[in-house]
Chains A and B, each alone.
Chain A
């Protein structure tokens, strides 16, 4: 081809490309119109904005819903913690502070809460005792099918209502007047005040709830708030905006005007990129992104989040893991320090030694200091001896493969592979990994289709009982069917006694029984590592209650 026509073709192509570009811009405008997009990105949305007292954060998943009677997950709990307030609330140090209740008296038989006069809903109407009565009844009504209804069971008649044996009007919670709420207990109880800070105990106003016609909690306009913030915008899966609640009784303690949640993603790399780009004020680090944060010279922070993870055995009669020596063999072959330091590789994690985490409070000090257990013992020789004993007791020539049931998240798979390799190397045992999505894993746990299962337990309230009754024979979450009459007896003491010293002794006994019987192999207490914008102050991380809590945060002036 001669040169001239060639360049003419080029020019024609360039012209066409320019025309196409124009068309493209037009098309993008059309798309923007139909997909409800703005033309220009709001540039003011940095991670922190001192002038507008606003911060932006990222959450890992869309909150399934914001109806406090039904919310079960951590993200909903975190957001609700900013938007709602119960009778009491936890402060930054994990101590109980007055919330809607101004004062309260708890006796073994019941409790009386005096509500503050200036507590208001976000439409300006007062928060009254009736709002608590309504929401607590709602939680317990069988139609609500709340997963967390059990947390209200200490209230008289609660369980019967939840099982449909009584109408919800029978709940022993009464509004003496607008500002007085009295509660009667099912049986004497020592820690009711620690329960009422929980999500399921938040108030809901009856007239508003009914006016939403079953959609309460589905969208921003289907909610009424009494907390520090109000939700003004909720684009599902994309964006949430919270603004300071002008009617919040303690609004002077709130500095922030706005909390934006413009990003919803579980991907730790994306989260890190957003932080690097100056778009979010705080980001959680994973083992994969930790080194990256180090390279970027960010101030890294650590926080012992405290959820306990363990391997639970299947104690059903037909299972090999019912054999104590086999369980001991696996117990002594496990090296929790190696698991934490070489496999998980994150600071803040603690090698596990007990079902009870280190942070949980006992009578005067931490429970684990009052009733100490040593570090997890690793002893491969001893493990092999126990395995040999187990083999003889079970009359086996060789052990068949054991099934290890785990979730399908990358973290749990990694740990499962580690355990598989360890048990193979030290004991010559074959482990079959059974990785299942959450609901299928739960079903297999309930049906007992496993030998070992990797499980974890997050605390619901600030008392050792949140862990203590987990392996009681009647607890439905005891999916490994561990049965011990001695343990059941101790759990009854811990539940019913009002004497704290006696209760703590019971927890100490429970801890000992679980270790002696090798009901579980404690793996670790989870930690969290994060980086926050250096100008963000007053960020609260906590083990129990909404976490992270930005409501008391402020921004330092540059």
Chain B
């Protein structure tokens, strides 16, 4: 186990190096000049700016310095916010994205399991049809449409009630989290509902459920101990990757709901060609994803004996 963990960690580090290298070279061949601005500046000022960001050095040296800095955890200073470090930016904005992402995954998982179980219970009856209709919507409507509609319904609701029970946009309190994370988790929720439904139906027909029923076990017990518990397993397996993709995929929701997450900053920095922020964010997110996957794998190894073979 320890050897396996060690091996995976080394692999992870190499992967992060790969991501960092890819980002570095992609960024350096991007056309455009991050140092230009609306008012043209003199040659001298340009040179000073280049020197400040080390852009005057040969590419190989820049790459070396960049790797050295990453290794020591320093992602540099932002080009547009000239007195802020990228580390600060990530430290301030990543928790926002993470909070949103975690809650979205939890919403998706709880909703998926609940709706999935319900549809299986009411198979081919009205609740099943209604829920599956929404699932179909959830899978096939782009997230930005959902986000806009979500915000619109909030405004309408607040207007109708005459008081604002939930904030329309912004950040700062738990209420601000609710609707955006719900919207963010919607697609995954729909996916999980489908998964849960089919897995519930499969389990319901399984031999051990029939045996349990024949033994005369109470229906509640059968439902909780046998059906639900076994049906949830496949759902849990897909949760790990979902956390990572949702956390990094919050751009749309962050833009629409004016949430100061890292995704929004990334899009902004791309538009501003802010080299250091772009590279820093990518490397950070890449590293985050890699180590999330490793962590999830290791946890599975602990839980499920079948995976522990290696």
Contact count band on B = 35 or more
| Bound: A443/B30 CA distance, A | 12
Q: Does B102 contact A (CB under 8 A)?
A: yes
Indicate which residue in A11, A148, A279 contacts B167 across the interface (CB closer than 8 Å).
A279
> In whole angstroms, how far apart are the Cα atoms of A267 and B258 in the complex?
8
CA A239 – CA B260 in complex, angstroms? 9
Report if A35 contacts B (CB, 8 A): yes
Q: Identify B170's interface contact among A216, A218, A262, A475, CB under 8 A.
A: A262
Chain B 79-116 per-residue mask, 1 if CB under 8 angstroms from chain A, else 0: 01111100001001101101100110011001000100
Supposing A5-B222, A277-B155 touch, asked if A439 and B34 sit within 8 A by C-beta, the answer is: yes
Which residue from B99, B168, B169 sits with its C-beta under 8 Å from A34? B99
Which residues on the A side are within 8 Å of B152 (C-beta)?
A: 273
Which B residues lie within 8 Å of A222 (CB)? 83
Contacts of B118 in A (CB 8 A): 13
Query: Which residues 165-189 of B have a CB within 8 angstroms of A?
Result: 167-177
**Which of A41, A217, A264, A446 contacts B175 (CB under 8 A)?**
A41
| Inter-chain contact B271/A65, CB cutoff 8 Å | no
Q: A9-B121, A32-B174, A476-B40 are in contact. Are A237 and B93 (CB under 8 A)?
A: yes
Contact B99 A162 (CB under 8 A): no
Chain A residues in 8 Å Cβ range of B33: 439-440, 442-443, 446
Q: Contacting chain B: which of A105-113, A139-147, A184-192, A250-258?
A: A139-147
Cβ contact within 8 Å between B44 and A65? no
The verdict on B289 contacting chain A, using a C-beta distance below 8 Å, is: no
Q: Which residue among B158, B169, B218, B265 has the maximum number of chain A CB atoms within 10 Å of its CB?
A: B169
Which chain A residues lie closer than 8 Å to B255 at the CB level?
Answer: 265, 267
Q: Is B159 an interface residue (CB 8 A)?
A: yes
Check if A273 sits within 8 Å of B39, measured CB to CB: no
Q: Are B83 and A214 in contact (CB under 8 A)?
A: yes
**Are A12 and B220 in contact, CB atoms less than 8 angstroms apart?**
yes
Q: Contact at A277–B164, with CB atoms within 8 Å?
A: yes
- Interface flag for A236 (CB, 8 Å): yes
Q: Contact: B83 with A42, CB < 8 Å? A: no
Q: A8-B218, A276-B155 are in contact. Are A443 and B175 (CB under 8 A)?
A: no
Instruction: Report B-chain residues with C-beta under 8 Å of the C-beta of A214.
Output: 83
Known: A11-B220, A442-B37. A37 touches B173 (CB 8 A): yes
Question: A441 — nearest CB in chain B belongs to which residue?
Answer: B32
The answer to whether A72 and B37 touch (CB under 8 A), given A267-B258, A273-B151, is yes
Please state if A27 and B258 are interface contacts (CB–CB under 8 Å). no
Interface string of B240-280 (1 = CB under 8 A from A): 00000000000000011111100011001011110000000
Q: Does A174 contact B (CB under 8 A)?
A: no
Q: Would you call A4 an interface residue if the criterion is a C-beta within 8 Å of the partner chain's C-beta atoms?
A: yes
* Most B C-beta atoms less than 10 A away, residue of A17, A222, A439: A439
* Interchain CA distance A279-B166 in the complex, whole Å: 12
Residue in B33, B37, B40 with the greatest tally of chain A CB atoms within 10 Å: B40
Query: A235 an interface residue at 8 Å Cβ cutoff?
Result: yes
Within 8 A of A (CB), among B136-173: 148, 151-152, 154-155, 158-159, 164, 167-173
**B-contact bits for A54-69, CB 8 A (1 contact / 0 none):** 0000000110110100
CA distance A314 to B12 in the complex (A): 51
- The contact string, 1 if C-beta is below 8 Å from chain A, for chain B 51-95, is 010000000000000000000000000001111100001001101
Q: Does A163 make an interface contact (CB < 8 A)?
A: yes
Q: Which of A8, A277, A437, A440 has the most CB of B within 10 A?
A: A277
The reply to whether A439 and B273 form a contact with Cβ atoms under 8 Å apart is yes
State whether the Cβ of B126 lies closer than 8 Å to any Cβ in chain A: no
* Pairwise interchain contact B173-A277, C-beta atoms closer than 8 A: no
Shortest A269–chain B CB gap in Å is 7
Q: Which residue of A lies closest to B114 (CB)?
A: A17
Q: What is the chain A residue whose CB lies nearest that of B204?
A: A1
- Does A208 belong to the interface (CB within 8 Å)? no
Distance in angstroms from B242 CB to nearest chain A CB is 16
Chain B residues with CB under 8 A of A146: 45
Q: Please, which residue of chain B has its CB at the minimum distance from the CB of A159?
A: B42
Q: B305 within 8 Å of A by Cβ?
A: no
Interface size class of A (residues with CB under 8 A): 35 or more
Tell me the nearest residue of chain B to A278, going by C-beta: B164
Residues of chain A contacted by B265 (CB below 8 angstroms): 237
Find the A residue at minimum CB distance from B45.
Answer: A145
For the complex, is B291 an interface residue (Cβ under 8 Å from A)? no
CB neighbours (8 Å) of A235 from chain B are 92, 171-172, 260
List A contacts of B107 (CB < 8 A).
Answer: 24
> Chain A: which residue is nearest B30 at the CB level?
A440
Residues of A within 8 A of B223 (CB): 5, 8-9, 12-13
Q: Are A277 and B260 in contact (CB under 8 A)?
A: no
**Shortest Cβ distance from A484 into chain B, in angstroms?**
19
Instruction: Decide yes or no: A65 and B82 within 8 Å by CB, A37-B172, A265-B169, A273-B169 being known contacts.
Output: yes
CB distance from A541 to the nearest CB of B (A): 21
Report chain B residues within 8 Å CB of A42: 172-173
Within 8 A of B (CB), among A21-77: 24, 27-29, 31-32, 34-43, 61-62, 64-65, 67, 70, 72
Given contacts A145-B41, A442-B37, contact A262 B173 (CB under 8 A): no
16 chain-A/chain-B pairs, Cβ below 8 angstroms: A9-B121, A13-B118, A31-B102, A35-B98, A41-B175, A65-B81, A67-B82, A70-B82, A143-B52, A145-B45, A147-B37, A148-B39, A164-B48, A222-B83, A236-B92, A443-B32
Beyond the given pairs A62-B260, A265-B169, 20 more chain A to chain B contacts, judged by CB atoms under 8 angstroms and listed by A's residue number, are A9-B121, A9-B223, A13-B223, A35-B99, A38-B172, A39-B174, A40-B173, A42-B173, A65-B83, A72-B39, A237-B92, A238-B96, A238-B259, A263-B170, A267-B256, A269-B148, A442-B38, A443-B32, A443-B36, A476-B42
Which of B's residues lie within 8 Å of A, judged by CB?
A: 31-34, 36-42, 44-45, 48-49, 52, 80-84, 89, 92-93, 95-96, 98-99, 102-103, 106-107, 110, 114, 117-118, 121, 148, 151-152, 154-155, 158-159, 164, 167-177, 218-220, 222-224, 227-228, 255-260, 264-265, 268, 270-273
5 residue pairs, one from A and one from B, having the closest CB atoms: A5-B219, A237-B260, A476-B40, A265-B258, A440-B32
